[in-house]
Structure 1
């Protein structure tokens, strides 16, 4: 089990708030810090967005891959 600097369970937020909360949390991470993202579906589109906007700044690791819960560790490089 990893220790996380932050955790964002996006299932708790209305759709319009999900990405702002995720990116606010990501932007607050220092190098080496990580967050746990919890979602009710595969957040693969977020992965592609991170790769486009934050190229080589984050590491993405699936911790759980459904079918009901997806958990991802996102670490700032």
Structure 2
């Protein structure tokens, strides 16, 4: 699965979700958006699950790699 990666740790919080949605929209079916965040993006998961039909919630993965570094994969159906 091809992935696009966004490191959001230095992006102001108010700009993160719009940036993520824009990047996700540019993906082709079967690709994934990988985000690096300073906290677990659980609210983002629920937002995508409720609002983005192409989001493959079953294949979503999030890992805490170290303090202040979470990597989440948002796959597109």
The unaligned stretches of length 5 or more in structure 1 are: none
Which aligned pairs between 1:47-62 and structure 2 lie closer than 5 A?
47-55=45-53, 57-58=55-56, 59-62=59-62
TM-score by length of structure 2 reads 0.82
Q: Which residue of 2 aligns with 1:43?
A: 41
Q: Which residue of 2 aligns with 1:17?
A: 15
What CA RMSD, in Å, does the superposition of the two structures yield over aligned residues? 1.8
TM-score by length of structure 1 reads 0.82
2:9 is equivalent to residue 27 of structure 1: no
The unaligned stretches of length 5 or more in structure 2 are: none
